């Protein structure tokens, strides 16, 4: 963290982010006219190459402002949510994008080399133009990707690697995560059951939805893979009376979760252990794992689901909440190292539903009983996290967190929110059951459905 902040560029210019996002009435300039001759040949060539790709935008519209001139890319009639403006403050931005693809764009943002009044819109426009985005990754960046893959392989999630990777993310400090999480300390998608619901209400609703899907009872012994800071375990024990064994390999999370359980007076109900999920033993009625599988690694999906199946009684149930990627791009994604893997969560990997179910079928006797897509709720959750972090920027700085680090996390939240809003990534709750489970059908209540499109006869 200190090494990263030590590289903070003096070129950060946040005053430019007040630019209108519409781009209406701005004259169009040829891409090559904005690159002064005094810049090096390679910089000018990479700039021309990237801007040539940007002009191929088909969905959405991007206004690029650089040194007083403007380039319009894409559909001028695009809807407002797919209209974005960026200001380029340093021509070397284009070289970073050409050499490092989307990771280079993130790095340039982190160092203030470009800015925008709405980062989520920029992400949405680029995600909506997958061919253009892929073209950037396939240009000069493809020569660097093998080196990143080697570095990412070093972060594979064997037992030692998992502890190192988890520490790199979660052991940033509990006070940092308190800056943007609500009082439940849930670091996963909430579920907003009504317009205007608060983040706290959404996280409580998510926890309760999981408990009801698992049909939790006071007689149940539940095992949780991935304690977080104890939010779900406390909710389940307090409201459903069940016993819970929950595991984390983050020291920071372990310490705070222990303290929160003691403060809630639930020591007799909740046991927190610090063990790798593969080392868990016992026989449990129910199992829950909330957005932990992203830290497992694709090589270890059979180990993960094999453990889930092994820990459950013959009539048991497991609820897995997971961030997902489309089946159609899963294999290609395995060959890339993205911004999150490089800067936020080393060793992370987003599964597809098919990849998970293949591991389920080959490593356990579990079967899929119910699946619910909650993707829009994650976008709304991330929006609030980002707003909370930016609102408490002064607090973060007092904690010693520098400008580059905070811009990195702003980019992280915006990058993910844009991906969820464009459905490039998703979030699901999967209910898996053992062969002797006879759980009642899960049917939505009619009064919870939108009846506005019903036809009367």
Q: How is 12-32 classified by DSSP, letter by letter?
A: --GGGGGS-SS-TTPPP--GG
> Class of 159-436 per CATH?
alpha beta
CA distance 397 to 391: 12
pLDDT value for 173: 86
Q: What is the pLDDT along the chain (457 residues), one digit of tens a residue?
A: 333 333 333 333 333 333 333 333 333 333 333 444 456 788 888 888 899 888 889 999 999 999 888 999 999 999 999 999 999 999 999 989 988 888 999 999 999 999 999 999 999 999 999 888 887 766 545 545 455 444 545 455 665 656 555 555 656 789 999 999 999 999 999 999 999 999 999 999 999 999 999 999 999 999 999 999 999 999 999 999 999 999 999 999 999 999 999 999 999 999 999 999 999 999 999 999 999 999 999 999 999 999 999 999 999 999 999 999 999 999 988 888 888 988 888 888 999 999 999 999 999 999 999 999 999 999 999 999 999 999 999 999 999 999 999 999 999 999 999 999 999 999 999 999 999 999 999 977 645 545 555 554 4
pLDDT value for 130: 87
pLDDT value for 10: 30
CA distance 31 to 402: 34
Phi and psi based region of residue 185 (left: phi greater than 0; alpha: psi -120 to 50; beta: remaining): left
Neighbours of 196 (CB within 10 A): 6
Query: Which pairing describes strands 83-88 and 221-225: parallel, antiparallel, or unpaired?
Result: unpaired
CA distance 172 to 167: 8
pLDDT value for 7: 32
H helical segments located in 144-250: 145-154, 159-170, 174-178, 199-213, 231-240
Residues 6+ apart with CB under 8 A from 25: none
Query: Which pairing describes strands 243-247 and 312-325: parallel, antiparallel, or unpaired?
Result: unpaired
Contact 34, 69 (CB under 8 A): yes
| Residue 34 DSSP label | G
CA distance 75 to 57: 8
CA distance 294 to 346: 11
CATH number attached to the domain at 2-143: 3.30.1050
Residues that are catalytic: 416
CB contact burial 245-278 (16+ within 10 A = b; e otherwise):
bbbbbbebbbebbbebbeebebeebbebeeebbb
CA distance 248 to 358: 26
Residues of the chain with CATH 3.40.50.150: 159-436
CA distance 395 to 389: 9
Interhelix angle 403-421/92-110, rounded to 10 degrees, is 100
pLDDT value for 171: 60
Residues of the chain with CATH 3.30.1050: 2-143
CA distance 374 to 210: 12
CA distance 141 to 208: 45
Two structure tokens written together for 254: 């372990």
Closest to 206 (Cα-Cα) out of 367, 372, 413: 372
Contact 134, 53 (CB under 8 A): no
3-class secondary structure, 272: strand
């Amino acid at each position: 963290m200190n090494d990263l902040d030590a590289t903070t560029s003096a070129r950060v210019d946040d005053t430019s982010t007040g630019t209108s996002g519409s781009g209406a009435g701005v004259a169009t300039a040829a891409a090559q006219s904005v690159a002064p001759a005094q810049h090096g040949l390679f910089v000018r060539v990479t700039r021309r190459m990237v801007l040539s790709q940007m002009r191929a935008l088909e969905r959405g519209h991007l206004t690029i402002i650089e040194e007083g001139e403007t380039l319009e890319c894409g559909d001028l009639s695009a809807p407002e949510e797919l209209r974005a403006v960026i200001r380029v403050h340093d021509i070397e931005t284009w070289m970073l994008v050409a050499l490092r693809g989307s990771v280079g764009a993130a790095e340039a943002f982190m160092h203030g080399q470009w800015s925008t009044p709405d980062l989520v819109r920029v992400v949405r426009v680029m995600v909506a133009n997958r061919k253009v985005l892929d073209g950037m990754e396939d240009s000069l960046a493809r020569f660097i990707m093998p080196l990143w893959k080697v570095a990412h392989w070093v972060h594979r999630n064997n037992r030692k690697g998992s502890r190192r990777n988890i520490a790199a993310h979660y052991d940033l400090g509990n006070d940092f995560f308190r800056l943007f999480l609500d009082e439940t300390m849930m670091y996963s998608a909430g579920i907003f059951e009504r317009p205007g619901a608060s983040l706290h209400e959404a996280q409580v609703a998510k926890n309760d939805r999981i408990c009801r899907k698992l049909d939790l009872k006071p007689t149940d012994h539940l095992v949780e893979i991935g304690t977080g800071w104890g939010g779900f375990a406390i909710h389940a024990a307090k409201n459903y009376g069940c016993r819970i064994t929950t595991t984390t390999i983050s020291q920071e999370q372990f310490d705070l979760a222990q303290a929160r359980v003691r403060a809630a007076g639930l020591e007799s109900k909740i046991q927190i252990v610090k063990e790798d999920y593969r080392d868990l033993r016992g026989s449990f009625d129910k199992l829950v794992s909330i957005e932990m599988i992203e830290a497992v690694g694709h090589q270890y999906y059979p180990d993960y689901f094999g453990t889930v199946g092994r820990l459950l009684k013959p009539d048991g149930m497991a609820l897995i909440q997971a961030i997902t990627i489309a089946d159609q791009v899963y294999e290609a994604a395995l060959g890339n190292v993205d911004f999150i893997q490089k800067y936020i969560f080393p060793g992370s990997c987003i599964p597809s539903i098919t990849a998970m179910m293949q591991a389920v079928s080959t490593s356990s006797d579990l079967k899929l009983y119910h699946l619910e897509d909650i993707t829009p709720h994650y976008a709304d959750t991330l929006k609030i996290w980002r707003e909370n972090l930016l609102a408490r920027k002064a607090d973060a700085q007092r904690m010693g967190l520098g400008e580059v680090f905070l811009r990195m996390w702003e980019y992280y939240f915006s990058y993910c929110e844009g991906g969820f809003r464009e459905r490039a990534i998703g979030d699901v709750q999967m209910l898996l059951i053992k062969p002797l489970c006879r759980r009642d059908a899960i049917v939505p209540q009619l009064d919870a459905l939108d009846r506005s499109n019903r036809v009367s006869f």
